[in-house]
Amino acid sequence: MGKNRRYDFNLILGSILTAITTVPALIGMIWTPYDTHTMNNSLKLAKASLMHPFGCDNFGRDLLSRVMEGSATTLLIGLGTVFIGVVIGTFIGALTGYYGGLVDDIFMRFNDVMFSFPSLLLALVFVAVMGSGKIQLLFALGIAFIPSYVRIVRAEYVRARNMDYVKSAKLAGASDMRVMFVHILPNTFKILLNSVLIGFNNAVLAEAGLSFLGIGVQPPDASLGRMLSDAQTYLFNRPGLAIVPGVTLIIMVLGISLLGKREK
Amino acid sequence: MLLHVEDLNIEFHDHIVPETVVYDFDLDMDEGEIVGLVGESGSGKSMSALAIAGLLSRHDAKKRGSIIFMGEDILNCPRETLRGLQGDEISMIFQEPMTSLNPVKKIGWQVEEAMRIHTDKTPEERKKRALEVLRSVELNDPERVYNSYPHQLSGGMRQRVMIAAAMVNTPKLLIADEPTTALDVTVQAEVVKLLKRINREENTAILFISHDLSLIRQLCKRVLVMKGGYVVESGDVEKIFVNPEKDYTKRLIDSIPKVILDRD
Amino acid sequence: MTGIIKKIISSILTIAVVACLVFMAFSLIPGDPAVAKLGTQATPEKLAALRETMGLNKSVPARFVEWIAGVVRGDFGTSYSYSMPVTKLIADKLPVTVILTLYSFILMIAVSVPLAIVAARYENSALDKTIQILSQITMSVPPFFGGIIITLIFGLGLKLFAPGGYVSYSVNAGRFLGYMFWPALAIALPKVAMAFSLLYGGLTTEKRKDYARTAYSRGNSTKDVFYKHLLKNACIPVITFFGMALADMIAGSIVIEQVFSIPGLGRILLTSIQNRDYPVVEAIIVCIAVLVIVSNLLVDILYRVIDPRIITED
């Protein structure tokens, strides 16, 4: 009894926290209270006011609008990364796990090496090769996160390979492709959902990390990581410039991880 | 008198309605005596034994009555006093010798533990005593056993190790909670013989708990029969065997395979 | 024993493969480093001369052989932008990153173990619940924001350290370690939270096992039961996480160097990426790869030391 209540608590709080960050981010994709690129010297480092609830940054841009745009960027890159990782990872994991053999062995050895590297570092290498920018960042992170999905999906396919429902589907004359993607795939969704949530969080943190380092999203585009790095100069006088995007990031990650906890 | 238990009642509070598992349990034991405690699972025999050994310290277990061991009130004495007795004057062995030993520690370390806690012996003296006690429980090649891990030994050997570890400080009372249930029949007989010899040579009193009356008959003079938390019958083993007062005891006797009875 | 030797050999092979991949990746990038250095206005003669000295006029396979031969001797070539040997450039920066990583790792262990033991010992108490909630929040704090918060509270607010006041280990080891505590804490905090929840799960499972009862029956105090009996068992499933955490901390230290103005591998890696100074980037990536692979190897050995059941399976 007590257990069920705790699960619900995680779900409710997780949903609230996720909504707090994603709703403004979604709005931020089409509308922000102020233009996010126009600089205004008279509002430079302005304090919080009714007009600008979080104040303005060092270029006089409205912080709320910047955070909305930054969250939108982070959200889109996070979703895109997960999408690339899941689609390619599922495909590779399904083929190697289903067929096994030497190709599987070689692929897995390679995958394990990739997996043992922190995804932030992998993404850093890809950015170093491909150059920085939103699209490059999306692909760099997407590729960096493939190995983790390959691992999960492959394990499921190895397990499913010898299951009765797969054997009977084969006996009924289903092609390998059909068995793989019509019969087995839906059974991986439950496990995938959890790793998608974790993966999304890791992608959000990695994006913020790379943008913080200045090799992710490039100015004048807003990104939570970039805002944090710019705010460091004014940390003593205007700590809010760092705290607002930082706390937004924490709430976003915390909300999703609470939702993921419920899935267990 | 070594042990005096009077009016022991044990109640559990882990459910909404408190659940009593032991009612009005009385037991007196003299030094060097062997007493049997028999009953089916859930009859309260293990709970009584754990309470006597001072191991029923769960917050949700409420104990009333008194347990006096060597003049100390087990239920009400300070934790330090109790710890001073445990492993020194009262030892306990359990049903599952595999899970009752720490899987990642060497046998020697585990056998020596009670000495490290209760004596000032030097490492060399401890090792000498450990090997001596391992030899006395009839383990061949004690030096090899000393340097082994639990998973490298057979079930019977593990139970001998448990007995050795319990006997290392020659306690006044050994509580054996179903020590042979998990073992093969031939090994069972050997362990019972070993306990008998220990009792004779070290004058250690033994509280032997089992659901198997035939084993009790081989080892004990006096027996307590428990059912549903109550002691339903007690007295001389042979008397109870020949002329059981309660139907329950009769059924326990009838459940013993005839072959074993004939052999006795 | 043969298991460990096999692991060492496969680790060396992995390092070799990673080194090859890194070189290939950077050789295939379009763009001419010589043009990048001199600018598009440079005369063709000057560019040709520069390509000659940079070794760019040779074919890719020839450069590869040369590069590998150098790497084996610990020579990573010459930096395009700093015009000095790469090895010399990173030699005194590598220890900073390694120390910061190890410092964070030690902090993680030193904080998460006692915390998990206290919470598991007083399971379901108010203390346990408080630690649980704090850990859930801490888990979501990325190191660079954690670093900013630490700077704000302990540096600017409480004045426990001077932000930006990095002291090199060669100048004053004590003050170096004192300053490095804060960035190490920032890296360690989210990992502390994760290690805590894994250890807590392990300890609460282990404390219900029979051998814990045996330990109590020998007269152990609760503290001794946890530290001497349960901890080692609870650690076994967490070791994999420790390995991944160690690798993650290398990444973390590269990021956190920017927050605390520490001149480690991170800063030089970032400027080299921006300057397209590939010899430096390649060298640092290979160094990091070696660190990651070595830390994986150490974890594997640690597994064998802690869990006796693995040795007999070999």
Burial grade of C84 (CB within 10 A; 0-12, 13-18, 19 or more): exposed
Chain C hits for B96, Cβ within 8 Å:
210
Q: What is the pLDDT of residues B84-130, one digit of tens each?
A: 999 999 999 998 888 999 999 999 999 999 999 999 999 999 999 99
B137 and B215 in a common domain: no
B176 and B77 in a common domain: yes
Does position A263 have pLDDT exceeding 60, yes or no?
no
**Residue A118 to residue C145, Cβ atoms within 8 A:** no
Closest CA to B183 of B100, B69, B261: B100
Select the residue of B103, B106, B114 nearest C218 (Cβ to Cβ): B114
Element (H, E) at A112: helix A101-116
**Residue C269 to residue A124, Cβ atoms within 8 A:** yes
A106 touches chain C (CB under 8 A): no
**Residue C214 to residue B149, Cβ atoms within 8 A:** no
Chain A hits for C292, Cβ within 8 Å:
116-118, 121
Cβ(A224)–Cβ(A72) below 8 Å: no
Residue B222 forms part of a structural domain: yes
CA distance C157 to C148: 12
Residue B163 forms part of a structural domain: yes
**Which residue's entry shows tokens 């990536």?**
C285
Which token pair is B254?
């009838």
- Ranges of H-type helices in chain C: 2-27, 33-38, 44-54, 60-72, 86-91, 94-121, 126-139, 143-150, 173-206, 210-217, 222-224, 231-235, 239-259, 265-275, 278-306, 308-313
B246 and B122 in a common domain: no
Provide the domain limits for residue B115. Answer: 95-170
Closest CA to B67 of B169, B175, B199: B175
B144 and B40 in a common domain: no
Chain A residue whose CA is closest to C245? A118
A212 touches chain C (CB under 8 A): yes
B14 and B71 in a common domain: yes
Select the residue of C211, C217, C306 nearest B91 (Cβ to Cβ): C217
CA distance B20 to B16: 13
- Our count of domains for chain B comes to 2
pTM of the entire predicted model: 0.87
Chain A hits for C288, Cβ within 8 Å:
121
Select the residue of C145, C258, C292 nearest A249 (Cβ to Cβ): C145
DSSP B21: E
**Residue C293 to residue A116, Cβ atoms within 8 A:** yes
Which among B123, B147, B170 is the end of a domain?
A: B170
Residue type, C174: G
B12 and B85 in a common domain: yes
Report domain A73-251's class. mainly alpha
How far is the alpha carbon of C198 from chain B, nearest alpha carbon, in Å? 19
Full pLDDT tens readout for chain C, 314 residues:
677 888 888 888 888 888 888 888 888 776 677 776 777 777 778 778 777 777 777 777 888 888 888 888 888 888 888 888 999 989 889 999 999 999 999 999 999 999 999 999 998 889 999 999 999 999 999 999 999 999 999 999 899 998 888 988 888 999 999 999 999 999 999 999 999 999 999 999 999 999 999 999 999 999 999 999 999 999 988 988 998 899 899 989 999 999 999 999 988 998 888 888 888 988 998 898 898 888 888 888 888 888 887 755 44
Q: What is the pLDDT of residues A44-91, one digit of tens each?
A: 777 777 777 778 877 778 888 889 999 999 999 999 999 999 999 999
Burial grade of A200 (CB within 10 A; 0-12, 13-18, 19 or more): buried
Chain C contacts to A (CB-CB under 8 A): 14, 17-18, 22, 25-26, 29, 136-137, 139-142, 144-145, 148-149, 151-152, 156, 163, 243-244, 247-248, 250-251, 254-255, 258-259, 266, 269-270, 273-274, 281, 285, 288-289, 292-293, 296
Does position B258 have pLDDT exceeding 70, yes or no?
no
B143 and B25 in a common domain: no
Residue B198 forms part of a structural domain: no
Q: Which residues contact A212 (CB under 8 A, 6 or more apart)?
A: A225, A226, A228, A229, C144, C255, C258
Closest CA to B7 of B29, B26, B27, B28: B26
B250 and B176 in a common domain: yes
DSSP A47: P
Closest CA to B6 of B62, B48, B58, B60: B48
B76 and B176 in a common domain: yes
CA distance A190 to A263: 9
Closest CA to B212 of B244, B256, B160: B256
Residue type, B153: L
Domains, chain C: 2-72 (no CATH), 101-274 (1.10.3720)
User: Looking at the DSSP assignment, which residues form a beta bridge with residue B36?
Assistant: B208, B223
**Residue C233 to residue B103, Cβ atoms within 8 A:** yes
Closest CA to A121 of C138, C266, C87: C266
Which token pair is A173?
């004359």
- In three-state secondary structure terms, B176 is strand
CA distance A58 to A62: 10
In angstroms, how far is CA A215 from the centroid of its own chain? Answer: 17
B176 and B70 in a common domain: yes
**Residue B117 to residue C218, Cβ atoms within 8 A:** yes
pLDDT of residue B59: 66
**Residue C144 to residue A116, Cβ atoms within 8 A:** no
Select the residue of C26, C259, C285 nearest A232 (Cβ to Cβ): C259
Q: Tell me the ipTM for this assembly.
A: 0.91
Q: Is the peptide bond before C33 cis (omega within 30 degrees of 0)?
A: no
Residue B103 forms part of a structural domain: yes
A254 touches chain C (CB under 8 A): yes
User: Looking at the DSSP assignment, which residues form a beta bridge with residue B66?
Assistant: B6
Element (H, E) at A212: helix A185-212
Q: What is the pLDDT of residues C216-239, one digit of tens each?
A: 999 999 999 999 999 999 998 898
B81 and B23 in a common domain: yes
The CA distances from residue A188 to A192, A228, C135, in Å, are 6, 38, 30
User: Looking at the DSSP assignment, which residues form a beta bridge with residue B205?
Assistant: B173
**Which residue's entry shows tokens 């660079």?**
C144
B147 and B46 in a common domain: no
Q: Which residues contact A127 (CB under 8 A, 6 or more apart)?
A: A136, A137, A140, A210, A215, A216, C273
